[in-house]
Structure 1
């Protein structure tokens, strides 16, 4: 075949790369998806109807009930006054817009970036965020519920878009400004002006006041001005609002510079009478627990919930009567904190934080204080966990040397060699120093572990105590009466512990129980049953023949422990500084009695002075304000009626051989004029803490009317009290151990 006749081969067709084909299909599906999505959006948009305004918006008041269901009080009746937009000046409107939605007048009612953020949160499985625009927030308030679900969020987007197209922006803004929650029970800008500044007419609000209101509405809890810790973040957002007002032309740069320096002066009206008296502390504690469990201010004040608390009305009445009548004759600036817990449940059934919440918000039942020797039972538990026996011999003579320092017993008494049971009964300080700081490896660490297991909350001060030899004598603000009542209740319940709480159940407005202590709080076995029975047996001896003998008057089995903590009272600190610490250990700062039966654990604390740091000793004729005297008497005044009619129950006996009687040395003769001759061997590296005192109980009360000369007490081990670690504490003078 000739070359001319040969047919030319057709050109080879190149194959398309598979990746290009995939991209082509993806592009096609993408365009199809856009078309379908757009069509779906318009179909849903057309079918979406703006519902009638939620007439139930009239905020449903949340009620608070006693444990028997009878109403105790309410969280804010709705405080709302509607005003037309023309009565709300432009500076107030602009402040709200600067804070919440700077593109309000031009946006379509929704925020694309907010939608993307919501989608991202859904993909991560996180809780949805609130509406980004004012229109969305208004829709949520007026037309929808407060649930943060995907379906509610999508409804909000469509309704907001349609509302923005069909309703004038001014109408939406007016509705928003009259319904948004500002905290303090105030709905709408008119009510908010009165709640924070006593200004009932919005037209009279100044620029700084308007900017402040715009600041707090973002999150009334996070920006609660009553909490000083919130002030830096409040000021930062307040300055952000002012900057937005400058950018919008509402204020000048000079005005922004002037107003940005500080928040406007807050002038709140007096609190509602529902908080008057001792009951105000119960309502306040219930509200704080709701916040801690994730409920918002808006839900608490207007969610229509029924809150059933753990507080028993009869027990509460008995406690108030005891705390306000069974007191020393001298009562000026004397404070009593009391708490009672039902063992094994964590339920706080009664609490006395003070005579009137409206006059002082310091709750003396929850304010942490120096527990003194009330902390020794946790050392007993730690020792038993460490495998030590209750009759192991310990040094009872005074002084004892620990890490180069010498420490004494109360009044420098000698007890000879004593066992743990007797050391607890008579509160022998040197024996507990010997046990925790010499006999036990990492004793303070094990002591803190036992205290926290029992129910003492973890705090910075207590964590520092893990390395502090004086922790066993409670020299720093480790606990409150509420904490101690619950921790001792763990022993009463044979080692069973449950989180302390004041809310039994929460029911929403539909009748659904959304939270209950039975379902949501779990009981744990914090200590071995036999170990807890051993602790009970040892603490019973404190009542049978020790520092708490007065509790025998209850005429039923009781276990408990006295405690006092000393130091330098606030009124003597200037003189103490001038004399280089010569007054260390001369004052009693706290005095405790915590006692329990199998059915009830109750703690009583006495403090004095405006901040609870004054000397208690002038209020008693004893050598010191012992826990076995007035705290125990007040405890009895409550426990007698509280247990009236209940079974007379014994504590279960520990296993045979767990606790045995051992020879007890005779009680030493107390000579109040003895002055310790042993002092620390060198200057401490940290601030000295004060006395380490051991009470001898109310039987040591002088028989004559004249109070004997008070002996000088021995300073305790140096410790640090972290600033802010206690509720009203003076960080400059930590105070010392206790009896």
Structure 2
């Protein structure tokens, strides 16, 4: 073949695999988009707006004790008054629009960003919530069930879109304003005005009143005006100001009006709560309602969803607790408050609670309000020390004062004990020994103490976290815990170191009988907070408090009992002005809290006494003793309940700790300067069975004083003046020693 006829053979280039993949991806993508659009329009056309739910919110939720039969009460019955939109003034309409859906008049009935957020929550495995427009909220209330599922959310999407196109927006707003839940059992703007201000005619609502109602409807529990927690109050004012600013931006009110209204909330004039909340049981209902919210049930479901709620409260135990808390008291009772709680070890179930005599007269729950635990915090120091490798026979300074970070801190009445071991220090609640233990003998002692307290079940709070750097944390100087918290934390020791989350709801079923939530779901949150032998050693030490120490009256229960007293000193609210004028002459003169928290293997019960309108007054005038100590009236009230509560229960013993730990000889850290003597622990069945060898003989070199209570011992700095519900969370540095007997 000639060269001229020879032609080059064309080279076929293979298309790069990435280009082919991109082509297929784009093809699939466009097919998917077309399919999604087509599906949307098909479903949209097929969606019918159903008849409004004629049974709307008429099913009252009922609440029972733990037997599922005995009625505890019910939540709000429907309180609803329908008014036409023409009788709802523009500033009232705009307040709700400013709060819930500022694009209401122009949007298509749905919120794409809200739906995206809901989809993200689903992907994260969280509960479907939030992001709804006014139209979507109205659809959920009137046309759908209260369940939060993906299919229900898609139904809401299509119905809201169609409703927005087919129904005048004014009609939707009118329906919404007459059906949305505002709390206090009030459905609709008319009932809400009546409930909060006793103004049932929306035309008579002022701008601040309308803005407040728009504030609480977002979440009546989160924005509960009766909750005196400063964080809740701040949330309310922040939300209220957000509504006011929205009304200003919409032109409903002027700049000067907004500046004037946003300064403070309008004065409330609430109607008295329904009698179903009367008496001590009102606190139980309120606590159950709040827990339902934490479990994901919204206010519509709680008040009108026809739920059947079984609580952990035991009818017989509750009856016995109320009797003890109202009868076993000092003769002087004016402005004296008792908070009590009983938890079942190993389960976290709150069996009984006393928060006050009548919920309708005061919503301050003395069983859940946190207070200074005083020396009742020392068992957590014992647990932390054992975890740190210490022995209950290690020796610590018992003389007073002790110097910590350059400050001298004292025992109650400035009493000297000599060098004492940890067992005796706990038995007699020797403050200086615990300062020596936590602040001198343990690296990062306060930090380890806080870890132990939180592991046991004391909730993590700002005040407690600050305690990681406070040498006086071991004496509980700040509002670390409530009786409910303490009962559950001590129950961890009773349960061989097993922590169980505290709860008051046992089971929730829907109107159809389907179980919507059960306490069984909490099992995965249980944990071994302490090694069993650590917990058993704590039990051993706290039984010694009952047998030989500050809690000896608890022996009358005639069962194995472990417990600890606690008192916290300070300056009562009635003395703070005088104290400021005299430069701190009354620092530490008053007893502000008094505790007895103790447990058997079956029940863990905490009792707290406080005085005064805000719980910040001096307790000492209520006692004939030198001070209102935990081993006095708190223990007596505890005993009156626990004797009745254990009727019919078999006697159980605490598991014994390892014999070697109990028999170890003391390992003194220094030569005792004083050599007191004390009897070794009893070998009876209700106390630790094996006494230690070579037990240090500790008889205090200085006998108990007979003088009246000193005005400046222990040295606790004054707290801020003014009414408070809980004490200041700002500890003094390096600490504030507290007294205890």
TM-score (normalised: structure 1): 0.85
- Kindly report which structure 2 residues correspond to 1:244-393, keeping only aligned pairs within 5 A, or say none: 245-246=250-251, 259-393=261-395
Is the Cα–Cα contact under 8 Å of residues 413 and 709 in structure 2 kept in the other structure?
Answer: no
Q: 2:66 aligned with 1:67, yes or no?
A: yes
Tell me, yes or no, if structure 1 residue 728 matches structure 2 residue 726.
Answer: yes
Deviation at 1:437, TM superposition (A): 2.3
The within-5 A match list for 1:531-610 is: 531-610=534-613
Say whether 1:672 aligns with 2:705.
yes
Relative distance call for 1:29 and 1:279 in structure 2 (3 A) is closer
* Alpha-carbon distance, 1:195 to partner: 1.8
Q: Following the alignment from structure 2 to structure 1, what is the Cα–Cα distance between the partners of residues 13 and 724?
A: 79
Map of 1:44 onto structure 2: 43
How far does residue 52 in structure 1 lie from its aligned partner after superposition?
Answer: 2.2
- Paired position in structure 1 for 2:176: 176
Counterpart contact for 2:121–2:127, Cα < 8 Å = yes
Structure 1 residue 668: deviation in Å?
5.9
- Secondary structure of the residue that 1:212 maps to in structure 2? helix
Q: Secondary structure at the match of 1:55?
A: coil
How far apart, CA to CA, are the structure 2 residues paired with 1:328 and 1:603? 18
The match for 1:232 is: 237
Cα separation, partners in 2 of 1:61 and 1:413, compared to 1, 3 Å: same
Distance 1:119 1:730 in 2: 42
Cα-to-partner distance string for 1:188-242 (whole Å, 9 max, x where unaligned): 1221221222111223333443343334333334444444122332233222342
Q: Which residue of 1 aligns with 2:80?
A: 80
Change (3 A) 1:409 1:653: same
Q: Distance in 2 between matches of 1:501 and 1:187?
A: 29
Say if 2:587 and 2:715, in contact at 8 Å, map to a contact too: no
Greater Rg over alpha carbons, structure: 1
Distance 2:449 2:290 in 1: 30
Q: Name the counterpart of 2:640.
A: 637
Q: Which residue of 1 aligns with 2:248?
A: 243
Match of 2:418 among 416, 419, 424: 416
Per-residue deviation, residues 451-506 of structure 1 (Å, max 9, x unmatched): 22222222222222223222222222222211221121111111111112211222
2:432 maps to 1:430 = yes
State the distance in 2 between where 1:310 and 1:158 align.
41
Report if the CA contact (8 A) 2:288-2:504 is conserved.
Answer: yes
Contact 1:410 1:713 (8 Å CA) reproduced: no
**Structure 1 residues 468 and 298, CA, compared in 2 at 3 Å: closer, same or farther?**
same
Partner SS state of residue 660, structure 2: coil
User: CA offset at residue 253 of structure 1?
Assistant: 5.9
In the alignment, the residues of structure 1 paired with residue 343 and residue 13 of structure 2 have an alpha-carbon distance, to the nearest angstrom, of: 82
Deviations 1:44-80 (Å, cap 9, x if unpaired)?
3332222222223234322222111122111211111
> Displacement of 1:383 after TM fit?
1.8
Name which of structure 1's ranges 334-343 and 160-169 shifts more when overlaid on structure 2.
160-169
2:615 aligned residue? 612
> For 1:121-165, what per-residue CA distance to the aligned partner results, in whole angstroms no more than 9, with x for missing partners?
667777655564433332222112234444333323332333344
In structure 2, what is the Cα distance between the partners aligned to 1:123 and 1:561?
48
Task: Name the structure 2 match of 1:737.
Answer: 738
Tell me: CA distance 1:607–1:213, structure 2 relative to 1, closer, same or farther (3 Å).
closer
Q: Check conservation: 2:307, 2:508, Cα contact below 8 A.
A: yes
Q: Tell me if structure 2 keeps the 8 A contact 1:563–1:592.
A: yes
Q: Which deviations, in whole Å up to 9, do the C-alpha atoms of 1:538-586 show, x marking residues without a partner? A: 2112111221111111112211111222122222222222222222222
What is the rounded CA distance, in whole Å, between the counterparts of 2:405 and 2:711 in structure 1? 23
1:54-111 deviations in whole A, cap 9, x for unaligned? 2232343222221111221112111112223333344433443444445555555445
Partner SS state of residue 74, structure 2: strand
- Structure 2 CA distance for partners of 1:655 and 1:243, relative to 1, 3 Å: same
Taking structure 2 as the reference length, the TM-score comes to 0.85
- Within 1, Cα distance between the matches of 2:390 and 2:271? 59
Secondary structure in structure 1 of the residue aligned to 2:55: helix
Quote the Cα distance in structure 1 between the aligned partners of 2:419 and 2:107: 83
* Deviation sequence 1:676-729 (CA, Å, 0-9, x none): xxxxxxxxxxxxxxxxxxxxxxxxxxxxxxxxx3334533487x9899999522
Counterparts of 1:22 and 1:475, CA distance in 2: 68
Q: Secondary structure in 1 aligned to 2:436?
A: helix
1:144 is aligned to 144
Structure 1, unaligned stretches of length 5 or more?
1-5, 675-708
2:653 to 625, 650, 653: 650
**Deviation, structure 1 residue 671:** 4.8
Equivalent-residue separation in structure 1 for 2:35 and 2:261 (angstroms): 52
Aligned counterpart, 2:484:
482
| Structure 2 Cα separation of the partners of residues 565 and 276 of structure 1 | 32
**Structure 2: distance between partners of 1:461 and 1:643:** 35
Listed as ranges, the matches of 1:458-469 within 5 Å are 458-469=460-471
1:307–1:132 Cα change, 3 Å: closer
Q: Alignment partner of 1:470: what SS?
A: helix
For 1:420 and 1:23, the matched residues in 2 are separated by: 74
Say if 1:241 and 1:346 are closer, same or farther in 2 by CA, change over 3 A: same
Higher alpha-carbon deviation: 556-565 or 158-167: 158-167
**Shift in alpha-carbon separation, 1:346–1:23, aligned structure 2, 3 A:** closer
* 305-314 or 214-223, larger mean C-alpha shift: 214-223
1:275-306 Cα deviation digits (max 9, x unpaired): 22111111122222222333322232223222
The question of whether the paired residues in 1 share the 8 Å contact of 2:309 and 2:508 is answered with yes
Contact 1:78 1:186 in 2 (8 A): yes
Deviations 1:225-266 (A, max 9, x none): 4441223322332223422542xxx55666556545544333
Q: What's the offset of the Cα at 1:319?
A: 0.9
Cα distance in 2 between the residues matched to 1:151 and 1:654: 55
Distance 2:31 2:410 in 1: 87
Unaligned runs of 5+ in 2: 227-231, 663-690
Q: Which residue of 1 aligns with 2:677?
A: none
> CA 1:726–1:25 in structure 2 vs 1: closer, same or farther (change >3 Å)?
same
The CA deviation string for residues 409-444 of structure 1, in whole angstroms up to 9 with x for no partner, is 333333333222122212222222222222222222
More moved, 464-473 vs 556-565: 464-473
- CA 1:337–1:736 in structure 2 vs 1: closer, same or farther (change >3 Å)? farther
Aligned to 1:3: none
CA distance in 1, matches of 2:497, 2:117: 48
CA spacing shift, 1:716–1:293, aligned 2, 3 Å: farther
Note closer, same or farther for the CA distance 1:669–1:634 as it changes in structure 2 (3 Å cut): farther
CA distance in 1, matches of 2:722, 2:147: 37
Secondary structure at 1:298 match in 2: helix
Q: 1:62–1:417: structure 2 CA closer, same or farther, 3 Å change rule?
A: same
* RMSD after superposition: 3.6
Residue 404 of structure 2 corresponds to 402
Say which SS state the counterpart of residue 51 (structure 1) adopts: coil
Q: 1:459 to 1:360 in 2, by over 3 A?
A: same
Q: State whether residues 183 and 220 of structure 1, in contact with CA within 8 Å, keep that contact through their aligned partners in structure 2.
A: yes
